[in-house]
Structure 1
Amino acid sequence: MHFLEFEKPIAELEGKIDELRHLSDGGGLNIADEVRKLEDKVDKLLRSTYAKLTPAQKVQVARHPNRPHCLDYINALITDFTPLAGDRVFGEDRAIVGGLGRFRGRSVVVIGQEKGHDTDTRIRHNFGSAKPEGYRKSQRLLELASRFNLPVITLVDTAGAYPGVGAEERGQAEAIAKSIETCLRARVPIVSAIIGEGGSGGAIAIATADRVLMLEHSIYSVISPEGCSGILWRSNTNAADAAAALRLTAQDLKELGVIDRIVMEPIGGAHRRREETILALGNAIDDSLDSMRGQDGGTLIARRREKYLSMGQKGLG
């Protein structure tokens, strides 16, 4: 288990538990009562720690390397998944995974950003930062979903769109804007889930949905705390202050009306009980799709448009 900086007291207790279990295995000692007491302490400490996380600490949890990623959710929730590749313009972008499959009996289109779990997969998926061809692939899949009347599920987990020269030369800004437009014009239900980081336009490109869900310890913001600190303070040393000012937590965004529902994570975060987290998100997605069952395309487009226009009006107020 990879422990975060603020989890050091928890790490020490769990280390003691491992030592006691090792002694018991090797010497025939019965120390079950002592282990149980330490486990109770760990549980209480996890509860108290995660009940009062600061925005900066939530950023760390959202980026935890053991947190379930897009492909983990697809493998667990989507059966008969058939990936579709390429944007039919330039090439394939592995930062965005998309295709057809079945979710609890429904035929669906799934689109998500994959960060990767180790060095090889992170490089292969470009750390979840898509290039224009990734967003054009998303547009193609959204149009396919509208053509065949298939609901869309999107899984958002990116620090932001790839900022390289090549991406800018191929029209990164236009590709993101067109993806947002395609989401707004889709004639089928779209449910989006922020499963880790929701970074800037790179996230909004596939998160302009009828229902936006967000895991309890995920983040969603117009810029990373480090980027914000660099612009405002000319240094990343104020990233914690930036995280608080950005109001990037699920709780803040629910209050602001940017997201529709917070999906609670197990005590200690999604990285501790991955299967439980995936099941909880699956249930929330199922509920969201059920709530839009039978709505025609025109109604969906009108309500989606009103949803995002009203956010702008609240901001002006």
Structure 2
Amino acid sequence: MFVTMQLDVLTTILTDHGCVKSVLENLNRKFVNIEATLLRAKVLREFSKQKHTAIIQSAITNHDGQDDHTKLAYLFAPFILSNLNQTVIYSTPLTEPVLNILKRYYQVEKTLNLKKIDDNVLESLNLFLDFHDSNGSDAEFVLMQLINALTQAEVSTIFLISDCLISSEALFEIEKFFHVRILQIQPTQQALLLNHTFDASQSPLEMQKLLFKRKDDFHIDLCRRYAELNAQILYLSGLYDFERAKNLVDDMFYSEHIYEKLSVYAEYMQTQLQNKVFDRHAQQLFA
């Protein structure tokens, strides 16, 4: 546990407290002094001119062999926000649905568990995708990445996209102490509120239809629903009202802006991989 009382609130944020011990053990292996790192970031955040958004999404899985289309919607959030000149760090486990979407663009499995964020791509493209193996529980991943985000002084807003049970009281205390905004979006609840019930068996997701102008009826409907889900992030970020945000995101799925950002990012990352810039000891989940 932490010595500083306010930091100890981090261990109570999740209803599932069983993962706290393993998370703290991992953090102590990663940082020389995690408590000092968190406190230093708290102080520097007040003076930082950079305002980054961290999006932490628990594992995107499939059900009965079909991708969870609702959760996949948020995979496009970092590209949408970066197109609006927002700097975004997106973290999620590299599950099969995510791999299936991104592997056609670059060798994403070779970027697993990178030791540090690539500041060059973050500065030039306002974007960094931080993928991890999916060995642990959702609760463990969310807590680990939340604390990791709080160690970064530039991060001013954190989205937790997860159905994990999270204490709103603990979140409020953490927000006050660290001077950050932390917002939870529960994908299952959000889908119900927006009446998003997907029959994934009727059609598989096709990137050529999702990100380009020519779409069949299934992908027209899918883009509309993806726009509504991601508009909530833009709205909560204070960028636009919900209706304007929804129309803006919907346009991005037709104008190829998301595809262009994804392509440029993938080209950069693939070049870095070929030049062996990244740590060669990064684990590979899908050999």
Question: Normalising by the residue count of structure 1, what TM-score does the alignment of the two structures yield?
Answer: 0.29
Larger Rg: 1
Q: Which has the higher contact order (CA 8 A, sep 6+)?
A: 2
Question: Normalising by the residue count of structure 2, what TM-score does the alignment of the two structures yield?
Answer: 0.31
